[in-house]
Amino acid sequence: MPRVICDNERCLACKACEIACAVQHSAAKSLAGVFEEPPRVRVSRLPEARGLPLRCMQCEEAPCVMACMSGALQRDAETGLVKHDADKCVGCWMCVMVCPFGGVRPLRSRGVVTKCDLCEGEETPACVAACPTHALSVDETTAEEV
Amino acid sequence: MAYVIIGNSAAAVSAVEAIRSVDRDTPISLYCDEQAPIYSRCMLSYYLAGHVEKDDLRFRDDGWYERMAVEPHLGSAVTGLDADRKKLRLADGSEASYDKLLVATGAKARSLGRPGEELPGVFRLRNLPDAEGIVARLGEANRVAVLGGGLVGLKAAYALRERGMEVSVLVRSDHLMSQVADARAGDLIRERLEEKGIEVRTGVDAKAIAGDGGVKAVELSEGGAVECGMVVVGKGVDSNLDVVKESGIEAHWGIVTDEHMQTSAPEVYAAGDVAETRDLLTGERTVNAIWPNASEQGRVAGFNMAGRERTYPGSLAMNSVDFYGRSLMAVGKVRKLDQGAEEVVDYQPERGRYRKLVIRDGRLIGLLIVGSMQGVGTALALIKAGVPVAEIQEVLLAEDFDYAKILHLVKQYPEAFGRREFLLTVKSAVG
Ligand SMILES: Cc1cc2nc3c(=O)[nH]c(=O)nc-3n(C[C@H](O)[C@H](O)[C@H](O)COP(=O)(O)OP(=O)(O)OC[C@H]3O[C@@H](n4cnc5c(N)ncnc54)[C@H](O)[C@@H]3O)c2cc1C
Ligand code: SF4
C-alpha cells in the first residue's frame, strides 16, 4: 500500500504541506480553501525549527478500522487503502482514540473526522508536490520488504 | 471444510473479513437470531436521537454477504452445540455441521431486577427492536427516567433530550460513568449534561417502577418517586452464553479463550462481548465488552481459523464519548488508584480540561481525559506496549503532546507503533 512518508531530518516545519492539502481538498481548489477545509496532515513543531507532519500511515493492521463502529472507516478491497466516508461518520472519536500517529483528525465543528486519502486520482499527493525540501515522498514498500 | 459463524456484528464481520483475506473458497455460513441486516448497535443512540436514519445503522452494505461469499441465515437462532459431533442445534429443531466455529454471540443488557420492569414503557437499549420500541413510544411520554449513569444510559439520556423529552438520570454511585472514569471526569460530563437540561441525581437507587398498564413513576429506596412515562434501564451487559451452556466448553464471565481466541473445545473459537480474555494490564481474565476489542478478537480468531497463526495480546478497557462537544476518553486503569500506582494530573475544571496519567512501575497503565483529545492514540500505543514513560511524564501531560514529541522513544520501541509503520514514518531516523 502506498503512503506518504517523511524524511524528518529535512522537515523545517514550514507547513507548505498543510496548505497544499487544504487547497487540494477544498471545493474550489483555491487558496481560499485553506479557511474552508482543514488539512488532513498536521505539522507538529519540534525544537530547532524542525517538525514532523502527522498523517495517516495506512497501517496494515489499522486500529482505526477496527474501532470504527459506523463503517465510515473501511479498507478498500481494491486499493488496500484505509478510506473514510464522511457521510457515515458520526464523530464518536473512537478512531482518534486508537490512532498511534495522530493521523485521524477530529473536526468538532462538523462532527466528523478527516484523514489522508493520498489525493486519490492525482498523480502525486498535494503535500508531496508542495514540500520545498523534498522531505515528503510516496512509499510503496510492502510489509515483506521492510 | 466449512466455517460457521454465530453472530452478525463487530466480531463476526471482522472474522469473516480476515478469513476471506486469505481463503476465498471455503464455504462460510453465518447464523444470527436477529432478522435485521448487519447493523451497528453503537449507533442506536444516534438513531434514537433522530440524527441518523435506520439505514445509516449499517456498517457494511447489502452486497457484503455476496462479496464475502457468506451464506447468511438471519432470524435463525442457535440454541446449543455439540462439540464432539461438531454440530449446532438451531431454534427450529434442525442441526448444522461445522468444521471450524466462531461463537460471536455478544452480550445482552442486564435487567434491573426490580418490580415493575415488565410494564409497557420500560426499555433497555441493546438491539434494534429496543430502539424501535422507544421511538414508537416517543409521543406518549414527556418525561423519561434513565436508570444508570454508564455509557449506554448517558447516550440514551442524550438522545431522548435531543427529542425534546424531560430527562432524569438516576445513578446509584456518587458520580457518573463510575465504571470507566473517576469523579472529576464524571462531574465534568455531568456539568455539561445539566447545562443542556438533563437532570442528574447521584446516590439514588430505584426500588421499583410503579404504574398500571404503563409506567407512572420510579420509586426510590431513599423514599420519594420520580414521575415519568418512560424508563430506560442501562445497568451494563452480560455475555450471551446460552449457546455453550451444556456443551462442556469452559465459561465464567464469558467463554474462556486462549491467545488464539480458541475455546476449550477444538476448532471452536470465541470473540467479542461473549469472550473472556486476558486483560493486557491486570493479566486477569475478563470481558472487556467494547467494539474495538470485538473487532480485533474477531480478526485474530478469523486468521487462526483459516490456518494463519495470530496471537491476541490481550484486551484493554477503553472508551470514548462526546456530549455536546465535551469529550471524555478513558483508557486502561483510571477508575481507582491501585497499590503502587501514582497519578499525574492536570485538572482545569473552569476550562473543561482534565488529563490524568496513571503510572505504575514506570509504565503508563491509564489515561483519562476530558476536553482535548490531543495525543490520546499515541499514549494508548505506549500503554499497550508497556513502554517506560518515567522520562516523558511532563511531555505526556502537556497540551501539545503528540507522536512527534516522542520520536526518540518511538525509535527504541518500534513494535509499539507497528514496526513497519514506524520505519516508514521516520525513515531517516533509522536509515
Ligand atoms: C447503545 C450502545 C452504544 C455503544 N457504544 C459503544 C461505543 O461507543 N464504543 C464501544 O466500543 N462500544 C460501544 N458499545 C458496545 C458495542 O456495541 C459492543 O462491544 C459490540 O457490539 C460487541 O460486538 P460483538 O460482535 O461481540 O457482539 P454483539 O454486537 O452483541 O452481537 C452479537 C451478535 O450475535 C447474535 N446472536 C446472539 N445470540 C445468538 C444466538 N443464540 N444465535 C444466533 N445469533 C445470536 C446477535 O443477534 C448479534 O448479531 C455500545 C453498545 C450499545 C448497546
Ligand atoms: S469518528 Fe467517524 S470514522 Fe471515527 S470511529 Fe467514529 S464513526 Fe468511525
Residues of A in contact with B42 (CB under 8 A): 69-70, 92
Residue B313 falls inside a structural domain: no
How many angstroms is it from B75 CA to the middle of ligand 1? 16
Q: Is the pLDDT of residue B429 over 50?
A: no
pLDDT of residue B422: 61
Is residue B12 within 8 angstroms of chain A, CB to CB? Answer: no
Q: Is B155 in the pocket of ligand 1 (CB under 6 A)?
A: yes
Residue B262 bridge partners (DSSP): B269
**At B425, is the pLDDT very low, low, confident or very high (cuts 50, 70, 90)?**
low
> Could you give the CA distance from residue B333 to residue B421 in angstroms, rounded to a whole number?
27
Mean pLDDT of all residues in chain A?
A: 90
Do residues B161 and B198 make contact, with C-beta atoms less than 8 angstroms apart? yes
Residue B314 falls inside a structural domain: no
Give percent above pLDDT 90 in chain B. Answer: 93
How many angstroms is it from A97 CA to the middle of ligand 2? 10
Position with higher pLDDT, A31 vs B233 = B233
- Residues B98, B242: one domain? yes
Lowest mean pLDDT segment, chosen from A44-53, A94-103, B89-98 = A44-53
Q: Where does ligand 2 bind, in terms of residues with CB under 6 Å?
A: A 67-68, 70, 72-73, 84, 89-95, 112-113
> Could you give the CA distance from residue B392 to residue B196 in angstroms, rounded to a whole number?
38
Q: Give the residue whose CA is nearest to atom 4 of ligand 2.
A: A95
- Residues B203, B133: one domain? yes
Residue B365 falls inside a structural domain: yes
- Residues B175, B98: one domain? no
The DSSP call for residue B279 is B
pLDDT of residue B431: 27
- Structural domain count of chain B: 3
> Could you give the CA distance from residue B175 to residue A113 in angstroms, rounded to a whole number?
30
Is residue B411 within 8 angstroms of chain A, CB to CB? Answer: no
**Pairing, β B3-6 against β B100-103:** parallel
Nearest ligand 1 atom to the CA of B105 is: 34
- Residues B333, B360: one domain? yes
Q: Give the residue whose CA is nearest to atom 46 of ligand 1.
A: B7
User: Which of residues B196, B215, B235 is at a domain's end?
Assistant: B235
pLDDT per residue as tens digits for the range B272-290 = 999 999 999 999 999 999 9
A107 backbone dihedrals φ, ψ, rounded to 5°: -110, 90
pLDDT of residue B104: 98
* Alpha helices per DSSP H over A5-49: 16-25, 33-36
Q: Is the pLDDT of residue B403 over 90?
A: yes
Interval B365-376 mean pLDDT = 97
- Residues B146, B219: one domain? yes
User: Which of residues B209, B235, B261 is at a domain's end?
Assistant: B235
Q: Is B293 in the pocket of ligand 1 (CB under 6 A)?
A: no
> Could you give the CA distance from residue B3 to residue B81 in angstroms, rounded to a whole number?
15
B402: left (phi over 0), alpha (psi -120 to 50) or beta: beta
Residue B358 falls inside a structural domain: yes
Q: If you search the block for the grid coordinates 503502587, which residue do you land on? A: B340
Residue B117 falls inside a structural domain: no
- Residues B220, B252: one domain? no
> Could you give the CA distance from residue B221 to residue B272 in angstroms, rounded to a whole number?
36
Residue B9: domain span: 3-108+238-305
Residue B319 falls inside a structural domain: no
pLDDT per residue as tens digits for the range B138-163 = 999 999 999 999 999 999 999 999 99
Residue B214 bridge partners (DSSP): none
pLDDT of residue B426: 56
Residue B311 falls inside a structural domain: no
In terms of Cβ atoms closer than 10 Å to its own Cβ (0-12, 13-18, 19+), residue B308 is: middle
Interval B256-273 mean pLDDT = 98
Do residues B355 and B401 make contact, with C-beta atoms less than 8 angstroms apart? no
pLDDT of residue B428: 45
Interval A2-14 mean pLDDT = 90
- Residues B245, B230: one domain? no
Q: The domain that contains B224 carries what CATH number?
A: 3.50.50.60
- The reply to whether the predicted model has a pTM over 0.90 is yes
User: Which of residues B235, B253, B268 is at a domain's end?
Assistant: B235
> Could you give the CA distance from residue B413 to residue B427 in angstroms, rounded to a whole number?
15
- Residues B406, B418: one domain? yes
- Residues B242, B103: one domain? yes
Q: Is the pLDDT of residue A143 over 60?
A: no
pLDDT of residue A85: 97
- Closest-CA distance, B104 to chain A, in angstroms, reads 16
- Closest-CA distance, B201 to chain A, in angstroms, reads 25
CB contact under 8 Å between B428 and A10, yes or no, is yes
Q: Which residue among B58, B318, B425 sits closest to A97, beta carbon to beta carbon?
A: B318
**At B420, is the pLDDT very low, low, confident or very high (cuts 50, 70, 90)?**
low
Q: The domain that contains B363 carries what CATH number?
A: 3.30.390.30
pLDDT of residue B423: 59
Residue B395 falls inside a structural domain: yes
Domains of chain A plus CATH, in order, are 1-55+120-146 (3.30.70.20), 59-115 (3.30.70.20)
- Residues B253, B158: one domain? no
pLDDT of residue A32: 73
pLDDT of residue A36: 76
